[in-house]
């Protein structure tokens, strides 16, 4: 029984690590997308003013 319990902890720890990695990846991708959208908007506004 103790062996099964230790496997449960390993699986729980691995799941937590994967969840944190997914959250970090999502935040990074959203930040890059926002920066790209801001650059595109700035370029559009610059060309519209000229």
Q: In angstroms, what CA-CA distances link 2 with 10, 13, 15, 37?
A: 13, 17, 20, 53
Mean pLDDT of 22-34: 98
Mean pLDDT of 11-38: 97
> Given this model, what pLDDT does residue 2 score?
59
- Whether the per-residue pLDDT at 1 is higher than 60: the answer is no
> In degrees rounded to 5, what are phi and psi of residue 20?
-65, -40
The first and second tokens of residue 46, run together, are: 């610059």
pLDDT category, 23, cuts 50, 70, 90? very high
Query: What is the domain partition of the chain in residue ranges?
Result: 20-50
Q: Give me the chain's average pLDDT, please.
A: 91
């Amino acid at each position: 029984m103790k062996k099964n319990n230790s496997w449960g902890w390993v699986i729980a720890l691995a799941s937590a690590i994967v969840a944190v990695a997914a959250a970090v990846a999502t935040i990074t991708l959203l930040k890059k997308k926002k920066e790209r959208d801001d650059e595109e908007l700035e370029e559009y506004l610059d060309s519209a003013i000229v």
